[in-house]
Amino acid sequence: MTGPLLSVVGTPIGNLEDITYRAVRTLREADIVAAEDTRKARRLLSHFAIPAPRVVSYFEGNEAARTDELLNELGAGARVALIAEAGMPLISDPGERLVARAAAAGVPTEVVPGPVAAVSALAVSGLPASAFLFLGFPPREAGQRRASFGARRAEPATMIFYEAPARVGSTLADLAEVFGGDRRAALARELTKVHEEVVRGTLGELASQFSSHPPRGECTLVVAGAPPGSLPAGEIDVERELGELLDAGFGPKDAAARLVVRTGLPRRRLYQLALSLRRHKT
């Protein structure tokens, strides 16, 4: 094929043997490799003896400006290969802007599939894989994180999260609080690497295990969906629940915080409702 082409190329997440013949050929034929980490990209190219094309950085900090540059290159007939630091681009990595803009401009775009940590973790988790939901990295702030989990409290599909090792313990504790400590889960770390490990158990067990001993390396959390009959957040009688908490002596702020976890509703909305209810009670 001649003419412009944007190739979205999956690369190994650890074990270099996981690269495909097609990915190697695509990188060999590219005029430009747009990489989230240029140093890792050059090591990958060197490992497979790929003559060095032009390698440019493409990461969150320069994504907007670099997208314009790459579209100009594609418009001039270049073949561009987009790669992430590891795994598939766009999956919790940059690339969405470039692919969308290229498609809108009519630039031929192809995918060269490769490893994905989320799907790999699901495959070895021992949890149902017929329906799953990838949710990326949870919010860093504890309140926002618990609220986001609360919104998924009745989600029936298996859920997959990425998380930084230092936050795994607190995230598992929040998941156990919101979903219940007996919900089944698995933590997969360093997938395809020398120290690959999959720890299976309940959220309560995993939260306890990693509360004071953070795991090392890249981590993926897989959490079972809600069992049949779980109460969707929308069916909770929010006013009644808030009223009971206020009657029990909780202030509007604390009452709202407790329902954020259960419902996933915005904290400010619950707080304002609690204030209104307390005024009517006095």
Single out the residue of 231, 227, 225, 229 nearest to residue 128, CA to CA: 225
Unique residue bearing structure tokens 């009745």? 154
53-74 pLDDT per residue, tens = 899 999 999 999 999 999 999 9
* Residue numbers of the chain with a pLDDT score lower than 70: 1, 229-236, 262, 264, 281-282
The whole-angstrom separation of Cα 3 and Cα 193 is 38
What is the maximal distance between C-alpha atoms in the chain?
77
Contact predicate 162/222, CB 8 Å? no
Single out the residue of 158, 154, 179 nearest to residue 235, CA to CA: 154
Contact predicate 178/149, CB 8 Å? yes
What is the model's pLDDT at position 255? 84
204-213 pLDDT per residue, tens = 999 999 998 9
What is the model's pLDDT at position 32? 97
Tell me which H or E stretch contains 6. strand 5-9
Cβ neighbours around 136 below 10 Å, total: 12
What is the model's pLDDT at position 233? 47
